[in-house]
Amino acid sequence: MSKIIYIANITLPSERAHGIQIMKTCEALVQNGEQVELWITNRKKAGEGRGFPDNIFNFYGVKRKFPIKKIPVIELISKKCKAYFYLESFSFLIMAFFALLRKKGDFIIYTRDESVQFLKFFTGKKIFWESHMVPKLDFLIKRRLKKINGIVAISESLKNILINKYKINNDKISAAHDAVDIDDFSDFLPKNKARDFLGIPQDKKVVLYIGGIVRHKGIFVLLDVAAMLGDDYLFEIVGWFVHDESDLAKKYVEDKKIGNVIFRGYIPRNDIPKYLSSADVLVIPNSSLNEESRAFTSPMKLFEYMSSGRPVVASATTTILEILNEKNAILVKPDSPEDLKNGILKIFQDENLARTISENAKKDVQNYTWIKRAQKISAFIKKGLA
């Protein structure tokens, strides 16, 4: 197959999950025998001032390296200007276009950036778009989607939405959920040792959430559950990114005098298995009131949770139900603190149930590795090029 140039208007390294997803996708494609080159921006790295290392591969634990090219973009002194995003995105697109013109040899373009689709009109190169949501750019949507060579949707639900809304042929679109690197999430500490390492009390019932501190992820529902369950339970909240709702969540806890919640903020990626090891229950309280959370997302933490051997309690949203069922998780009604509370309590009330669903989840997640995802994407691209 032709070389794959993955174009992403992002800065790496970053605390955002899309950085992990892109790097792991590229690594897995390389492991699958593809030639891959990643093009990103030359903006100041997202972790400036927070101790992020310069080595992108080390930061993400990527062992199979590939070329990374940095595309220059226009940077404004004030990034708070509403026009900044559009100006920066446009400059990235223009500079990527000229870089593509200078690129020798046969290659295809792979991207999850909607704006990169427009390069199809000007370069004539074959483009495959990884869709994480319904297109937001109204301009020429149907023409763009008709012109590009293939779409990889992040979930079956999103795939069906795109087919029905934009009349896309079934053979032009495939679904590929996110995944986990089993090697990265296989060496878990005993619970007591993990808690000693992290300074978590041994006598608490620990409920762990890892991910974005935003409403549509169900964070405020989870905080309400913490208030219901009281001091025997400790709710560990791990995650942070720019422009999230961490400050609102902390104020919510303060105003309601919820004393059993700890916000850990951003943690290095290689510490995540330690937190998973420390927990009694892992939760995914996604909201069904938000379309992205309900019908688009394929959270990487779900697959990392499943690999940990810890029981998972999750909202029964459309996309979550594509992976989880009553045999490998406790499923609860979304947006209901009472249902989420009862789901968590089931874990502590029935040790056999907790053990059974944990073991089943660990077996099931073997079907959702980055390499298996890359194999599926490679096969789909080859089919689209035929």
pLDDT tens readout for residues 142-155: 889 989 999 999 99
Query: 275 and 210 in contact (C-beta within 8 Å)?
Result: yes
- Residue 354: phi, psi to the nearest 5? -60, -45
Q: Which helix (H) or strand (E) holds 20?
A: helix 17-31
What distance separates the 2 farthest-apart alpha carbons in the chain? 64
Q: Is the pLDDT of residue 55 over 70?
A: yes
Q: Which two tokens stand for residue 384?
A: 């689209």
Per-residue pLDDT, 186: 85
Interatomic CA distance for residues 256 and 381, integer angstroms: 52
Query: For residue 76, what pLDDT band results from cuts at 50, 70 and 90?
Result: low
Per-residue pLDDT, 6: 98
Query: 188 and 277 in contact (C-beta within 8 Å)?
Result: yes
pLDDT digits (tens, 9 = 90+) for 201-223: 999 999 999 999 999 999 999 99
Per-residue pLDDT, 52: 60
Cα angle for residues 100, 104, 109 (degrees, 5° grid): 45
Interatomic CA distance for residues 160 and 166, integer angstroms: 10
Interatomic CA distance for residues 241 and 216, integer angstroms: 15
Query: 237 and 261 in contact (C-beta within 8 Å)?
Result: yes
Q: Which helix (H) or strand (E) holds 208?
A: strand 205-210
Instruction: Rounding to the nearest 10 degrees, give the CA dihedral for residues 193, 194, 199, 203.
Output: -70
Q: Is the pLDDT of residue 18 over 60?
A: yes
Per-residue pLDDT, 14: 84
pLDDT over 90 for what percent of the chain?
Answer: 76
Integer angstrom CA distances of residue 115 from 120, 153, 377, 385: 10, 16, 21, 22
Residue 284, SS3 per DSSP:
strand
Per-residue pLDDT, 47: 46
Per-residue pLDDT, 157: 96
Interatomic CA distance for residues 181 and 177, integer angstroms: 13
pLDDT over 70 for what percent of the chain?
Answer: 95
Please count the other Cβ atoms lying within 10 Å of the Cβ belonging to residue 57: 17
Query: 358 and 309 in contact (C-beta within 8 Å)?
Result: yes
Handedness of CA 75, 6, 143, 169 (dihedral sign): negative
Per-residue pLDDT, 79: 55
**Domain annotation for the chain: domains and CATH numbers:** 3-179+369-385 (3.40.50.2000), 191-367 (3.40.50.2000)
| Average of per-residue pLDDT across 163-172 | 93
- Residue 180: phi, psi to the nearest 5? -140, 150
Per-residue pLDDT, 49: 40
Residue with tokens 């999230």: 244
- Measuring CA to CA, which residue among 206, 196, 271 is closest to residue 237? 206
pLDDT digits (tens, 9 = 90+) for 319-365: 999 999 999 999 999 999 999 999 999 999 999 999 999 999 999 99
Q: Can you state the angle between helices 300-307 and 351-364, rounded to 10 degrees?
A: 120
Query: Residues for the chain: how many in total?
Result: 386
| Average of per-residue pLDDT across 175-187 | 93
Q: Is the pLDDT of residue 48 over 80?
A: no
Per-residue pLDDT, 83: 66
Q: Is the pLDDT of residue 289 over 70?
A: yes
